[in-house]
Amino acid sequence: MTTARGISGGSRAAFWTVFAIPAVWMLAFFVVPLSIIWAYSFGRTLGLTEVVVTGTPDNYARVFDPVYLYIFAKSLVFAGATTAICLIIGFPYALVMTFASTRAKILLLLAIMLPFWTNLLVRTYALMAVMRTEGWVNEAFGVIGLGPFEMLHTNFAVVTGLVYVHLPFIVLPLFSTLDRLDRSLIEASLDLGAGHLRTIFQVVIPVVWPGILSAVLLCFIPALGSYLTPDLLGGPDSQMIASVIERQFKRANDWPFGAALSFMLMYLTLAAMAWRALAERRAAVRDLR
């Protein structure tokens, strides 16, 4: 009994020793700064730099101004379109990776991981060089007598850039999920006469549906809060909510309203995560039935 208690106490002490460092780090550099910004969202600005927390909800009331609601809606549309396109492209890609040979799998994984090894700013400027009026795409169209087309500083450029940046966020979790799929289910479906497409839609997708939801969230959430890509590739009508937040903090010097906008974005993120948890719970209940 004493030995068991000693081992238990030692394990508990080891756990808290290991846990202390990340806990202190998260508290100091995540919880505390986030709490300060949350408090600022209930304040007002005095002068140029001083913020007084008054407890007023006026900043959140300003968020519901039609101008900002329109930008929020546009951000949701851009993030949703980005996620849908990434899913359409990423699911077949992840499926091919799953059933590819070991050598091909490594090459396909390397191709999708290469953008992570390059700075986002460099990749964005590369897209600008590709899509500008004198860029490679318009030069290719010029060879066949078409163009030039105005692509840069448009909604098309923003969505294209967001897809390029966030595609790995879809492919990698999908590949991780599909790679653990029981392939005997696919073989049984094919043996029973179902075609490949029917097997994918009626066997593969339902089985890996929780992984698809996770991949969608991993793509949608960062796409919704993207700043650099729409700022460089988009025009005046392509701004997303992150650009508005940046202007409130840096140019307008209205930290309380910028904090309120930031937390409204966070509330949307939490709502998306709650939707995923609810969908998973419903799927679990359905499986039990």
For residue range 74-85, what is the model confidence (pLDDT) as tens digits? 999 999 999 999
> Helix, strand, or coil here: 43?
strand
Q: For the chain, what is the mean pLDDT?
A: 86
> Helix, strand, or coil here: 7?
helix
Which of 226, 195, 228, 180 minimizes the C-alpha distance to 86?
226
Cα–Cα distance, 107 to 229 (Å, whole number): 27
Q: Output the pLDDT for position 287.
A: 66
Which of 33, 47, 23, 25 minimizes the C-alpha distance to 262?
33
Backbone angles phi, psi at 51, to 5 degrees: -120, 130
Cα–Cα distance, 173 to 253 (Å, whole number): 39
What DSSP string describes 172-221?
A: HHHHHHHHTS-HHHHHHHHHTT--HHHHIIIIIHHHTHHHHHHHHHHHHH
Cα–Cα distance, 36 to 41 (Å, whole number): 9
When pLDDT is averaged across residues 236-248 and rounded to a whole number, the result is 88
> Helix, strand, or coil here: 151?
coil
Q: Output the pLDDT for position 85.
A: 96
Which of 51, 66, 171 minimizes the C-alpha distance to 111?
171
Q: Output the pLDDT for position 95.
A: 92
Enumerate the domain spans of the chain.
58-239
Percent of the chain with pLDDT over 90: 34
**pLDDT of 5 above 60:** no
Q: Output the pLDDT for position 9.
A: 58
With bands split at pLDDT 50, 70 and 90, how would you rate the model's confidence at 91?
very high
Residue 108 zone, left/alpha/beta (φ > 0; ψ -120 to 50; rest): alpha
CB atoms within 10 A of CB 72: 20
**pLDDT of 140 above 50:** yes
Q: Output the pLDDT for position 185.
A: 86
Q: Output the pLDDT for position 166.
A: 93
Burial of 190 (0-12, 13-18, 19+ CB in 10 A): middle
Q: Output the pLDDT for position 8.
A: 57
Q: Output the pLDDT for position 289.
A: 65
When pLDDT is averaged across residues 153-176 and rounded to a whole number, the result is 92
Q: What Å distances lie between residue 222 and 94, 165, 184, 218, 266, CA to CA?
A: 20, 10, 35, 7, 11
Q: What is the dihedral of CA 161, 163, 169, 170, to 10 degrees?
A: -170
When pLDDT is averaged across residues 28-57 and rounded to a whole number, the result is 88
| Predicted TM-score of the model (pTM) | 0.85
When pLDDT is averaged across residues 184-194 and rounded to a whole number, the result is 86
**pLDDT of 4 above 50:** no
With bands split at pLDDT 50, 70 and 90, how would you rate the model's confidence at 270?
confident
Query: Which residue has 């191709």 as its token pair?
Result: 111
Cα–Cα distance, 90 to 285 (Å, whole number): 28
Inter-residue contact 168 to 113 (CB < 8 Å): yes
Task: Kindly indicate whether the domain formed by 58-239 is annotated with CATH number 1.20.210.10.
Answer: no
Inter-residue contact 161 to 152 (CB < 8 Å): no
With bands split at pLDDT 50, 70 and 90, how would you rate the model's confidence at 10?
low
